[in-house]
Chain A
Amino acid sequence: MSTAIETKTRRRDLVFGIAFITRILLFQFSEITNVLASRVEVVTPVTSFTRLTEGLYLFQNGVPPYDGGVFHQAPLLLAFFQPLSYLPDQFTSLTYILVDLLLGYLLSQISRTKEQLYKDLPRVDDIELIDDNKSEGENEEPSWVVAGLYLFNPLTIATCLSKSTITFTNLAIALGTFYSLKGGIMAVFKSYPSIGDASFYLGFLPIYSEIVKYMRYNFFTTNIFLYSSVLAPIFYHLWIYAGSGNANFFYAITLVYSVGNIILLVDATFAMLRREFDVWNPKLRYSEVMQR
């Protein structure tokens, strides 16, 4: 039993280590970070690091940063980045990496706390308690998987590399969730959505891994995400740079992206309700179920 926990700890360390090294390495390629920091899908006017730098520059030169249409971010961020601006750029990158890892850690902690809370609640026996013989430690959904799924999500990595300040917003939400353990539609209907929002709530999904098993459109949703993440940059290029496509192209793909998000959300809700039904009606497990 102790070896199992040790294995788990080692795996967790491995996940965080690899995530850290991946980010450090990717930060060395300034072309990648520059491109990401200027992509419309990744950064928005309220999370852009360029605008944060501008606000900081104005602040340091005696121009009120909010007296102008460029800087719209929280004063706390200004105060936080003020000392960082005196240090070399690497420290800023390091901060973003650490905050991202902290987010991963928080998610794994949330997952563990949730397991503790849900331990006494009824389960769907033959799916979820199938490994009854296994030790207690292994029986729980390993929390490092949750952290890993968040930290190795390409959307998360892109957001971190773009130095988007949404990382800090997400950190605040994660901290809030961790201390209250209550959960987030904002990402779908936000006025300036970016992939940082999606990457964060996708991070919450593995915490409810039991729900994922009940979801019907996993394949379809995954494809929509892949489809829109390939086509969105292409359509944006056609509209803004090539001039061979108009604004409708990009609008259409954002619409597809939000349809994907909606389907995911609706599907998750369905899965949750359907699982509850099974929990309370074990007898009806093998019979046909419909909505009335």
Chain B
Amino acid sequence: MGLTYRTYLEGSRVFGCSKCRTHLSTTESIISKAFQGQHGRAYLFDNVVNVEEGPSEDRHMTTGLHTVKDISCSRCRAVLGWKYEKAYEQSQRYKEGRYILEKQLLCEESLTIKPLSDGKLLTHFQFSIQLEGAAREGARFNHYNLFPRAIGQIVQQYSARELHLTFTQGRWEYEKWGYPLSFSAGTGVELWAWLWKNEKLDDNWKSLTNALAGLFCASLNFIDETKTVQPQLSFRPEGPHNDTELFDSAELRSGSLPHENVCTENLTPWIKLLPCKSTAGIASLLNGHELYNSNFHSMSINVRPICQDSECTHQKLEILQTLSTVINPVRNKEIRGIVERFIGFSDWSLNELYSRKISRACPLAKESNLLLIIPEEGDFEIMPEADQVIKGETVNQNIAIYDLKKDPHNLELSMKWNESQFTYDNQVILPRVFAHRYFSGYGQERGGIKVNIFNKSPDLTIPIVYYDVIPWYLKLYLHTLKVKINGVEVNSKSKDYPIKDLYYQPAVDRSRPAVIEALIHLPSNSITTLSILFDKVFLKYTEHPPDPNRGFDVGPAVITVISSNEAEDNQKKAEGYGLPTPDFSMPYNVITLTCTVLALFFGSMFNLLTRQFVGLLTLNDEKIDEGKQDENKDIVDRKNEGTEKQILSEDK
């Protein structure tokens, strides 16, 4: 490679390469700003410098057939647009020899792979598409560019400021895997959104859940008022905001469906939102068979405003789609050993993981990277060599970066461990804050919830927000809330009481769940235990799901760590529990038997109250009564009928 000459331009405004800032052209060279590129707005320039031209090819464009050459930056080789060689229609001849530069491609994709301490492998796909001028209240979307129209229309129609939707299956194991790469969510579906305040806000929320239900083939429309909550302390917007402006203009709604299963019918519409679908780029790895053959997977859509410049005077709207899976290569590669029953290896390659290959980078993406977080210890070999190695979060951590734009063809990344069999590492570095939630008690009448929150920091008191939504069919008793630190109960009047702020919304039968939000200061190196008791409710027989004996699912609790730099960690766990089930043939029994008992009561009572008592006299007894004969109004002589008795009645 020889020296590359670079020309530096002067002018009122210089256009540069979006990636490496190399000068390309000036405003004076613009012929037209009204061009539509492949991925959005494009400008036609008279002259452009520092570009390399690709081979000629014929393209059918909206204005007819043209022969064009792609142009790329001479420094970083990013594709910038194209040069018109020949136009076949007379009216388009003016373009010949001129250049199209597309406005910045606002799309990025990355795949992060992280070997975990227990031999499993975290793969985290992330796609980001940005749209300018759409992050305001009531903003009209004039051009969607790469931004998925289906989502854009929903955000616009139902006045959403932020929107977060997550489909998760499985449980993220904090003690083994550390913190996830994006905010995790509990099993099932979770939706939360900040909606612009207006008189239709609750209608908008209802419509939003219905629209998303249709879009993702999920039961999101079941998030009705019995499942909708308005958290007070948790779920702050991810985008830039200040609190007073936020609470004046927007409200939070949140809901989850812990019972919802996630499968390919949810994945397909999710993939459809990507600019290249699954035909190119890292999305071509998304193979449903392998994704759902995993210990954990979580798929999300986050629509949020982000800063366009460092002062944040302008904001743009970003849609961030992430998909995390934890795959177990040790299990997948198990073979029958001689001494022990099975031997596993933690070796893996991309092809083995997904049974697919990355053919080429998504041409619409500005950046397309594959990142491998290299384990700090161990004897292993990574193939092929990385394009670049950068420092990670900790001192010893290195991240290998593979630029798919640069080397698009058949990247077959693999990692081989020099070991005869995988051995589990018991020396796990625990995350700073983690928690366990349990249901206590037995039987189907009452129970309790117990949460152990661990703070492993040796010297820091960590403030957290504990958030828990309990369905109405578990009746909580707030007066039974007890707090223990390291097993010793703390009185609520003591100054060591860790709950600094408590927000409680009692449940209302069949209309809203109970919500507990507590600001808790976790003392350093401690276990804080919260416990609360509840009664289980007898549901109507029609309120049971089709599989009542499986029980009901309670959504996960969320722990938000408020750290000094405002970074937050969410931890969630979902639990299942059983409610008393009726015998579903019972309504018939109940109706017939209860009616019988009622009839018994009515019949006997009616009989008593309407009939009179009469005395039965034998004829021999008649003389006793002779003196009083005149008082008796009704004497019936039954001699003729052969009886020897007279019936004597008395009026009261």
Given the contacts A262-B597, A292-B614, A247 and B586 also touching, CB distance less than 8 Å: yes
Residue pair B589, A248 in contact (C-beta under 8 Å): yes
Comparing B115-123, B142-150, B156-164, B616-624, the segment that makes contact with chain A is B616-624
Give every chain B residue within 8 A of A58 (Cβ-Cβ). 478, 504, 506
Q: Nearest B residue to A285 by beta-carbon distance?
A: B615
- Of the candidates A56, A67, A247, A270, which one forms a contact with B608 in the assembled complex, judged by CB atoms under 8 Å apart? A270
A13 to B219, CA, bound (A): 68
Give every chain A residue within 8 A of B617 (Cβ-Cβ). 284, 287
Give every chain B residue within 8 A of A74 (Cβ-Cβ). none
Task: Indicate if A1 sits at the interface (CB-CB under 8 A).
Answer: no
Min Cβ gap A214→B in Å is 12
Q: A20-38 interface mask toward B, CB cutoff 8 Å, 1 = contact, 0 = none? A: 0000000000000000001
Comparing A87-95, A116-124, A125-133, A275-283, the segment that makes contact with chain B is A275-283
Given the contacts A240-B443, A240-B580, A283-B628, A266 and B612 also touching, CB distance less than 8 Å: no
Residue pair B605, A54 in contact (C-beta under 8 Å): no
Comparing B5-13, B69-77, B95-103, B643-651, the segment that makes contact with chain A is B643-651
Give every chain B residue within 8 A of A269 (Cβ-Cβ). 605, 608-609
Residue pair B478, A251 in contact (C-beta under 8 Å): no
Task: Indicate if B479 sits at the interface (CB-CB under 8 A).
Answer: yes
A114 to B240, CA, bound (A): 79
Given the contacts A240-B444, A284-B648, A255 and B611 also touching, CB distance less than 8 Å: no
Residue pair B612, A292 in contact (C-beta under 8 Å): yes
- Interface SS majority for chain B: mixed
Give every chain A residue within 8 A of B589 (Cβ-Cβ). 248, 251
Give every chain B residue within 8 A of A68 (Cβ-Cβ). 505-508, 514
Residue among B506, B508, B509, B581 with most chain A CB within 10 A: B506
Task: Indicate if B176 sits at the interface (CB-CB under 8 A).
Answer: no
User: A235-292: which residues lie under 8 A (CB-CB) from chain B?
Assistant: 239-241, 246-248, 251-252, 255, 258-259, 262, 265-266, 269-270, 273-274, 276-277, 280-281, 283-284, 287-292
Min Cβ gap A288→B in Å is 4
Residue pair B586, A251 in contact (C-beta under 8 Å): yes
Given the contacts A63-B506, A274-B613, A54 and B650 also touching, CB distance less than 8 Å: no
Residue pair A69, B472 in contact (C-beta under 8 Å): yes
Give every chain A residue within 8 A of B443 (Cβ-Cβ). 240-241
A61 to B506, CA, bound (A): 12
A53 to B647, CA, bound (A): 64
Task: Indicate if A57 sits at the interface (CB-CB under 8 A).
Answer: yes
Residue pair A262, B600 in contact (C-beta under 8 Å): yes
Give every chain A residue within 8 A of B460 (Cβ-Cβ). none
Q: Nearest B residue to A239 by beta-carbon distance?
A: B580
Give every chain A residue within 8 A of B580 (Cβ-Cβ). 239-240, 247
Residue among A246, A277, A283 with most chain B CB within 10 A: A283
Q: B433-446 interface mask toward A, CB cutoff 8 Å, 1 = contact, 0 = none? A: 00000000011111
Residue pair B628, A69 in contact (C-beta under 8 Å): no
Residue pair B444, A251 in contact (C-beta under 8 Å): no
Given the contacts A239-B580, A255-B597, A292-B647, A69 and B652 also touching, CB distance less than 8 Å: no
Residue pair A290, B613 in contact (C-beta under 8 Å): yes
Given the contacts A292-B611, A292-B612, A240 and B590 also touching, CB distance less than 8 Å: no
Residue pair A50, B507 in contact (C-beta under 8 Å): no
Residue pair B649, A292 in contact (C-beta under 8 Å): yes
Q: Nearest A residue to B479 by beta-carbon distance?
A: A57
Min Cβ gap B587→A in Å is 11
Given the contacts A68-B508, A247-B580, A283-B625, A54 and B479 also touching, CB distance less than 8 Å: yes
7 of the cross-chain contacts (CB-CB < 8 Å) are A63-B504, A68-B507, A69-B475, A247-B586, A274-B613, A289-B614, A289-B615
